[in-house]
């Protein structure tokens, strides 16, 4: 199972439009410090890539989900001035070769956790290292799990929010269903559910089953260091708050030979 958001890609931006904004200036700040082009792995609908391009950086965005990339391309179609600053690639972050190096590589907002197979995880980090300039920076962000993840994570179908999409007039209810957890391999199997009612009264239910690996800080640190990368900073939010909060954000560079 892959996290392709096959049925819910068009609701991704609506879902996160209010909750995740703080990482945009965070990544733009690092892009300015590094200079040059940016490679975003797991670029999705362009939530991060588009603001980076608008700030003057050429962005190469790679994603495995065609539905997410279709949304990205639709946005570019109405932003022609940015089209020349963005290169989109349908590909797998676990195995890619672009024939060039970048001063900044990012995997924002938990996209790295969609890799659950050990070979894919090590493959992705190997690709990152081979595409990173010698003085380049790699940034990866995962959520910080509860101290003891177990079956208490299970929950029935639970409403997260209900709101109206001002663009379409549709009433949208987001629900979440958690029926399975693998505490040995540390993999969660949530189901993402949206119930949409349109102004004409028609309704539909859109679902995607996801698969996400969770890490504790020391575990992710070990995986990254084994890949030949050195962690220079760790934060828990995009304001550079110290470790221990909502996220685990690592700032990395190539480990000296």
pLDDT in tens, 169-179: 999 999 989 88
3 pLDDT higher than 90: no
Mean of pLDDT values over 194-212 = 96
Rounded CA separation 35/29 (Å): 10
Q: pLDDT-derived band of residue 257, with 50, 70 and 90 as boundaries? A: low
Query: What pLDDT sits at residue 36?
Result: 93
pLDDT value for 21: 86
Q: Mean pLDDT across the stretch 57-69? A: 98
pLDDT at position 147, please? 87
Q: What value does the mean pLDDT take over residues 126-143? A: 98
User: In degrees to the nearest 10, what's the CA dihedral of 44, 114, 132, 90?
Assistant: -40
Nearest one of 7, 1, 88, 4 to 43, comparing CA atoms: 88
Asked if the model's pLDDT at residue 1 lies above 70, the reply is no
Instruction: Tell me: pLDDT of 152 over 80.
Output: no
Total-model pTM: 0.95
Euclidean distance between CA atoms 5 and 213, whole angstroms: 16
* Token couple for 182: 């693998």
pLDDT winner (highest mean) among 23-32, 146-155, 156-165: 23-32
Distance, CA of 108 to CA of 91 (rounded, Å): 17
């Amino acid at each position: 199972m892959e996290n392709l958001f096959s049925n819910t890609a068009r609701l991704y931006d609506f879902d996160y439009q209010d909750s995740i904004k703080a990482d945009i200036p965070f990544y733009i700040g690092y892009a300015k410090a590094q200079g040059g082009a940016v490679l975003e792995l797991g670029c999705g609908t362009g939530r991060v890539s588009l603001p980076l391009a608008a700030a003057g950086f050429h962005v190469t965005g790679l994603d495995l989900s065609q539905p997410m990339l279709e949304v990205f391309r639709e946005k570019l179609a109405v932003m022609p001035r940015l089209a020349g600053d963005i290169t989109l690639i349908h590909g797998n972050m676990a195995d890619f070769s672009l024939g060039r190096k970048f001063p900044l590589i990012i995997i924002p907002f938990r996209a790295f956790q969609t890799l659950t197979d050990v070979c894919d995880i090590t493959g992705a980090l190997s690709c990152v290292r081979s595409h990173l300039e010698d003085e380049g920076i790699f940034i990866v962000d995962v959520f910080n799990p509860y101290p003891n993840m177990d079956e208490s994570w299970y929950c029935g179908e639970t409403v997260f929010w209900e709101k109206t999409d001002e663009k379409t007039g549709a009433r949208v209810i987001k629900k979440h269903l958690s029926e399975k957890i693998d505490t040995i391999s540390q993999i969660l199997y949530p189901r993402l559910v949206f119930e949409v009612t349109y102004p004409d009264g028609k309704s539909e239910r859109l679902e995607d089953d996801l698969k996400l690996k969770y890490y504790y800080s020391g575990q992710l640190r070990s995986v990254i260091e084994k890949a030949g990368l050195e962690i220079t900073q760790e934060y828990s939010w995009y304001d550079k708050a110290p470790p221990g909060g909502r996220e685990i954000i690592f700032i990395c560079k190539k480990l000296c030979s």
